[in-house]
Structure 1
Amino acid sequence: LLRGWRVIGVNRVYERFDPTVIFSMDTRFLRWVLDGKYGHETTEKFARSKAYKVWLCTYNCKLPDDIFILRVWRTYSKGFRAFPATMREGIGHGNNSGYGALNLAACLGASPIYLLGFDMKYENGQPKARTHWHEGHPIPHRPNTVQGFVKYFQLAAIKTKEMGLQVINLNPESTLPYFPKKPFEEVLH
């Protein structure tokens, strides 16, 4: 489905296909992958992946040599509400890897940018469905985590518009309200 597209895949997406970039800001996630917490096959797929492995470090961290480290914009606390147009001072994180991946795509000048998997579905503090397309992580999200993610995307919508970039959410059922939506079938043939 995504072959031939330039894709920044967040966290475990490499289990399904090899994206152009594997992106995350969660060093715990990287430890879980490398330590086999998701299973041997997941660890092996990560090791074999030809994707650029890019991590946004929100604090000083030491990662394996094959991982490119991006800095957070100025400080961790300022990175929540940052969406710079260049990577010179680092990028924003919005407290989730999807936001950081969107900021990376914007800094690279991608347009249009298609969001896939940004469902953001919580109802009455409880997930309406699973919070991930996979079985999740060893430490699950707290009930209000995804709701917290959503608010940061408002700034991303404003900034991408100012930058002249088109961002389209390919999940019409997503609760992320800041970007126009299209069914992925219309875009990804």
Structure 2
Amino acid sequence: GIATALLHARGARVVAVEPGEGMAAEFRRRNPRVPLVRGDGNRLPFATGSLDLLTYAQSWHWTDPARSVPEVLRVLRPGGALAVWSNDPDVRVGWIAGQHARIEERFGPGWYINARAHSREGLEFTARLLPWSRRVTIDTHLAKLSTHSLFLIREPGTDAFLAEEHARLTALFPNGWVEEHYVVDLNVALRTA
């Protein structure tokens, strides 16, 4: 809902799509002026040819491309666009790569869902990688890390891991601040006919 709210705040006419009741209720609480419909990327609740732009902010990986791609092509007008993006930690930065390796060592591979392959079946995308960074406290960094599902569902050992990671990062960054580096992976496909 973050991207939806930002697009709405900038004047776009938007409709949010949410499959789950809990997240739908939370979205409505935070964004009471934004219309919301129930559905998912495999069954879009929109009329054929009704959309100029369809976005998937950190959510394309949840779809089944054999079903979602035909749905995208169905609901977009000719000349309409599909925009798919994710905001991912930049693992080219040493300390971030180390943190990811420690998480995988402790909890297994695949913990970071956006790292899974994005299917482009049947669509021709133009892609851009947009690096950016922000300076935050170690506590803010770990609070952000703890929003990933691995930590939200409270896998055994996550609290201990976060405490160990706090100590490790404090030793690396004794002033208590880290420079988080990210890469936005933006992909746009046009419906040509």
TM-score (norm 1): 0.36
Q: Which has the higher helix share?
A: 2
Q: Which one has the largest radius of gyration? A: 2
Q: TM-score, normalised by structure 2?
A: 0.36
More strand by share: 2
